[in-house]
Amino acid sequence: MSPTGDFTVALRAAWFGGPLADVATLARQCSREPGDLGPRSYVVRGEAWGITYQVDGVFVEVPNAGVWQLELIAPVDKTRFAAQVFADWINAVVR
């Protein structure tokens, strides 16, 4: 999903039903650099169309159900504005 009128920012989700062996290892396969949310998170930067984008991701386990992989993708200069929305989304999933 993206904010109305701004497709440079996106939130993405993937669902993995059932337990995953080691989500910290999966996070390192997404990026060698852990994110601010601990070993189950990751951050990576890359350029597209002349703009440097940042991907912040995290694996969130739902006991006895599965694992969510949540990502925020945004131009680097917008990540600080979108970080709170991402944090709120993670907290909503954890509940």
For the full predicted model, state whether its pTM sits above 0.75: yes
Q: How confident is the model at residue 1 (pLDDT cuts 50, 70, 90)?
A: low
Is the predicted pLDDT of residue 73 greater than 90, yes or no?
yes
Q: What is the pLDDT of residues 6-61, one digit of tens each?
A: 778 889 999 999 877 788 988 999 999 989 888 999 999 999 889 999 999 999 98
Q: Which CATH architecture has domain 22-94?
A: 2-Layer Sandwich (3.30)
| H helix intervals, 10-66 | 23-30
Question: Residues 82-91, buried b or exposed e (16+ Cβ, 10 A)?
Answer: beeebeebbe
Is the predicted pLDDT of residue 2 greater than 70, yes or no?
no
